[in-house]
Structure 1
Amino acid sequence: MNAPRTIAEYLEQLRAALRGADPALVQDALYDAEEHLRAELAEQPQRSEADMLAHVVGTYGAPEEVADIYRDQEIKIQRALRPPPVPRRPSALGRFFGVAADSRTWGAMFYMLLALATGIFYFVWAVTGISLSMGLSVLIIGIPFVVLFLGTVRALSLLEGRIVETMLGVRMPRRPPYPAQAGLSFRQRVAAIFTDGRTWTTLLYMMLMLPLGIIYFVITVTMVSISLSFIGSPVLKILSDADVILWTCGIPEWLCPQTSWWGVAVLCLLGVLLLFATLHVVRGLGTMHGTIAKGLLVRSAQPQV
């Protein structure tokens, strides 16, 4: 491969060397490389890009070397951050109840509950920002406001990425798409924001989070509440027998917890099964949402034509 003579060529060669890697890793690597290269160029403005790159390749590394370093570091980081593996259970029953031992299950459940609050915030922020941007577009402050708003959108996408990675275990970017270095003019940075498709897919994600957050919250709270109420039926039976509460039901008497301990046992067992089924549903929703977040918040790792 020919030695890069411009920063753009270096980044394209690095992107090509990272082909097949996680798109979030590619975004982080490209950000770090571009930030370093532009900082080097800004410190020595008298040198051409070709001369600077010839020097940097010997210190920072050639694109292929940098790609290998990032792949190795990613493996080490993922090993350190990955939760303890859950023992594989050969039986279907073991896999069904073993979901409770997976830390990602509880992370997904917490995310399902948190998604309502974050969804409301993201939706209000996006709709308010879009409305104000359109309303102020006829004024001289319109363009600066739009740039500021889209900058906050990118910052929120990084925050959401950290939440998704921590709770759902999906690798997300830890760097923004473009470095905010003096080597890039203000016009170039603005153009990069407007022409990057991920700016607009991030806005779409923020608006989708409200309906998704409502769905996640309602499903999780409803299923958990029903499960716990069934599991707590023995307590209700005891309180009913002691005339502390009045408990009536419209099912056959031999199954009715009000009159039969058989009914209490069946209801409690159903509650346990429903609770573990809920954990599977929640983990599945977490996997699905991780895929959505990855698709809308992470830049494509494919070389740009």
Structure 2
Amino acid sequence: MNAFNSSTAGLPSTIPEYLEHLRRSLAGADPALVQDALYDAEEYLRSELAENPGKSEADVIVAVASSYGAPDEVADIYRDTEVKVQTALRPPAPPPRKSLLGQFFGVIAEPRTYGALFYMLLSLATGIFYFTWVVTGISLSAGLGVLIIGIPFVILYFGSVKMLSLVEGRIVETMLGERMPRRPLYGTRGQPLLERIKDLFIDPRTWATQLYFLMMLPLGILYFVVTVAGLTVSLSMIAAPIALLLGFGSHLYVDDIMVFGAAEPWLWPLTIVGGVLLLFATMHLVRLFGQMHGLLAKHMLVKTAQYN
């Protein structure tokens, strides 16, 4: 963080007050950005507090105000940095297309289309993994939780859910372009261990994340089947007439039903055109799925509640 000079007047006197002030200063910003900023601020302030055991929280905040910044200054820094980072990471925007044909066929020139395509294909594997992890974890937690030796397992399982949430967020941001948290949840490191464990269980995002992971199986199946079916049928329609023209086979079959053969060459161009249209329609559908899933992940995995 760059050094910023600020007046110590009006500075918060405790770390929770500092974080609350920072949260208010970031009102209206992306919830993922707010989560990252609060995590970074708390980590920095508590590390400074640990390095200066003889100082109070108020003294530490005053001491670091010139290097880290007051909450308002930190909020401005994060807003400015976010704009620069998003501008640098955002793929080049394709030239605007006003015609309907340009908008329809222009989807192939959008980098996010391919990110969404890879996510749709990957979602079946991740959906199976997430679903299995949650079902197994909940089942074992319910069975072992009544035993003293099972309590550590339950705590580890719920902790793993939060870590997997962060991993899924990185996948979503990389492939779908939706801003997701790059830091864990904030506001737990200064609490006693039992309070931190309690928050792990009562945090709504812990349960929302598990619901999201359970939903990923049916969603992953839907995404994978629609994507593979659309690509397979469209590419087959494009390739089949070419194969017939080159002498590979004599008829085109769909589900053991003959559609046309070498004796109907007038159908070949129509089939190729239909395959091309279906291919681009599939890419649009994949892009739409990606946008909708990014919003779903943002809603269920990102903490939007006020800092306590």
- Say if 1:249 and 1:285 are closer, same or farther in 2 by CA, change over 3 A: closer
Amino acid at match of 2:281: A
Deviation at 1:179, TM superposition (A): 6.8
Deviation at 1:247, TM superposition (A): 4.1
Q: Percent identity of the aligned residues?
A: 58
Amino acid at match of 2:105: F
Inter-partner Cα distance in structure 2 for 1:273 and 1:172 = 34
User: Across the two proteins, how many residue pairs are aligned to each other?
Assistant: 298
The reply on whether 1:21 has 2:12 as its aligned counterpart is no
Structure 2 portions without partners, runs of 5+? 1-8
**Match of 2:173?**
165
Deviation at 1:303, TM superposition (A): 2.8
**Match of 1:174?**
182
The reply on whether 1:91 has 2:102 as its aligned counterpart is no
- What value does the CA root-mean-square deviation take over the aligned residues? 2.1
**Match of 1:295?**
299
CA contact (8 A) 1:6 1:50 kept: yes
**Match of 2:55?**
47
TM-score (norm 1): 0.92
More moved, 35-44 vs 126-135: 35-44
Inter-partner Cα distance in structure 1 for 2:166 and 2:155 = 17
**Match of 1:235?**
242
CA contact (8 A) 1:99 1:105 kept: yes
In the TM superposition, what are the counterparts of 1:38-117 in structure 2 within 5 Å?
38-117=46-125
Deviation at 1:244, TM superposition (A): 3.9
**Match of 2:266?**
262
CA contact (8 A) 1:249 1:256 kept: no
Structure 1 portions without partners, runs of 5+? none
2:66 alignment partner, SS class: helix
Q: Deviations over 1:235-264 (max 9, x none)?
A: 34236xx484554689xx9x9444222101
Deviation at 1:16, TM superposition (A): 0.3
**Match of 1:221?**
228
**Match of 2:135?**
127
Deviation at 1:146, TM superposition (A): 1.4
**Match of 1:273?**
277
Q: 1:11 aligns with which of 19, 28, 33?
A: 19
CA contact (8 A) 1:7 1:34 kept: yes
- Say if 1:31 and 1:249 are closer, same or farther in 2 by CA, change over 3 A: closer
**Match of 2:289?**
285
**Match of 1:193?**
200
1:133 alignment partner, SS class: helix
Inter-partner Cα distance in structure 2 for 1:161 and 1:249 = 40
Q: Deviations over 1:206-239 (max 9, x none)?
A: 1110000000000000111110111012234236
Q: Deviations over 1:263-296 (max 9, x none)?
A: 0110110000000000000000000000000001
Amino acid at match of 2:60: M
